[in-house]
Chain A
């Protein structure tokens, strides 16, 4: 083989190796890199979750960097506004001549010395909730009340790590607010039995 031919062959080999040694299938070395790389120029998707919010009344809230929808509350409360009944001061309503109301509410939220009814409710302004400093809080934004003590949960909720999505994963983002899952008077979620038991699995593992 002549020297010229050899050089030619070597050249070909070099050229081939230039193409063949590239990372053929994956551009990224890890999933994290892929997520970072591909979301750099994220322009949004065509998929929307709007259809699944139909029939749910929502209000938009902005907290820090997060803006999303939460269910509207006031229209869900059976007798709102509260002042429709609470037309007189509480002391007068407590008399025997009135039918009992809210008799089933037992406050099981923190200890008695930390919390009582007036921590959140204002006897002089029943249509609003009350912050620790006495500011009025709208019933639609009751999360503000909860976030006064439960700040880590509040941070997680804003980001989406605590609580539950409504509708779907895509935009618009809608999330349950605190009282959609937790009863504010008894926020602990109760223990119960699992909703199913697999009898076949028992047989298989005998």
Chain B
């Protein structure tokens, strides 16, 4: 009796928790509302199955609990019932899979008007690179990374000269324009994740990975690293600011190009770039030292 009651309470409690608790996703800021919708479909289907199975169990425990003189039925198989359950399950699974794959297809096919934005992860900071006037990013190589060339842009590639380099500072994006995030790392695995954008992807040293999205509202959003990347991992935060077109152009005008940064007298000027709110890797390293020596 008590057991059946507890089983019912688990179902009721779980459903109430789902509906009433304050813990829910952040307001979306990208075009990936499709993903949120797929999650809602999944919550409905799985929620119904969970409630049905556990309530059925509760009923069985109540109705068929042992009492003196009871005897169980003897029924090894029931082909009809088993086939029906298999078919119903297959239909349910298909109802989850088909919209999921449909949205995935959108996710992996980047629209042709998306602008490239490169994100470079390193322990434990984020840097960015935007194509210059030619609209093309120059090629890069981890072996070309030096103090003066922190992203390893290949100097001999003419496409790279006008690239805008944003080292260890905030990324700005214009609202309403699709962007293709090209993800690169120069040391270990990282993962560029902004909860409000709903998208994320690992960055792998030696490869370029990608995802795309369209920012749908202006604001300041926190970047989190979502792949364990060493002891500074939880402090590897960054900032993406989604601007109006006007603000974006103003910000872009203040940034340095690769050619400007490579000129000897300009070295290090990116560190004084305005709007810099992100802790640099070195600061994190210092903070870890303090934590470690406490």
A, B in one complex: no
Measured CB to CB, the residues of A under 8 A from B are none
